Amino acid sequence: MADLDAVLADLAAEGADLDELVNGADAGTWAKETPAAGWTIAHQIAHLAWTDEVSIISVTDPESFKAVVKNAWEKPTTFVDDAAEELAEIPTPELLERWRASRKDLITALSGVVPGRKLDWFGPPMSAASMATARIMETWAHGQDVADTVGVRRSPTARLKHVAHIGIRARNFAYSLHNETPPTDEFRVELLAPDGTTWTWGPEDAAQRVTGPALDFCLLVTQRRHLDDLAVEAVGPDATHWLSIAQSFAGAPGTGRAPGQFAQETAQA
């Protein structure tokens, strides 16, 4: 069982790192287009603020959250973009403070969740630790879009383990999004952590295997880099196919990034 306090500390740290990237940026920077088509930096922060806010509703007012879900499913393909578009219109200083408040309030709310309680979401209900882990993943992924936009290369941290874990746990979900039947066998995943140790999932003797740097795997499952540009390798046909469809986030498969889109970054590595 995950240590909720530790996960919440990581969530706070991930938000603080992204905050450093946008704090003090002028309006022109906030209006820059990110690699996510149609989304500026303001959209990225607006999306994170909105998701934190609806997460708080799930924790503190389950009945009201049902209405949020109902409204979302009335426009299932656009509700995320619509929310980001609406909040992105808020003046930059106000939006930044709103996101900061939602981050803080969500951590407070999650810290008070009774052990064993499952929180409603747009997908299956989840524990407080799982919701916090999902928020780490999203904050890191959208933070990558911001970093790419402002030309900053972030140093990977041990918090990547949360992102990788979700990507692995979402294996079968990725298959379902493509109307495919997932393999019945578990995969072995071995990732090189930022500190030089190895993170592992799955049976040691699994025939289907995935290896590579944890950073590259996380960039893959969040669809922030194309597989061709990453040092992630697979052994076995099932594992190979999974890497072509893997995603750690809810919703329809995204368009991801094009091969070579960040070729200059790769050349400088």
Joined tokens for residue 22: 């946008």
- Beta strands across the sheet bearing 198-201: 198-201, 188-192, 209-213, 233-235
Predicted model pTM: 0.95
6-44 residue pLDDT tens:
999 999 999 999 999 999 999 999 999 999 999 999 999
Q: Residue 251's pLDDT is what? A: 78
Q: Residue 77's pLDDT is what? A: 83
Query: With 50 as the cut, is the pLDDT of residue 97 above it?
Result: yes
Query: With 50 as the cut, is the pLDDT of residue 115 above it?
Result: yes
Q: Which domains does the chain have, with CATH numbers?
A: 4-150 (1.20.120.450), 160-261 (3.30.1050)
Which residue type, as a one-letter code, is found at position 176?
S
The string over 234-267, giving b where at least 16 C-beta atoms fall within 10 Å of a residue's C-beta and e elsewhere, is bebebbebbbeebbbbeeeeeebbeeebbeeeee
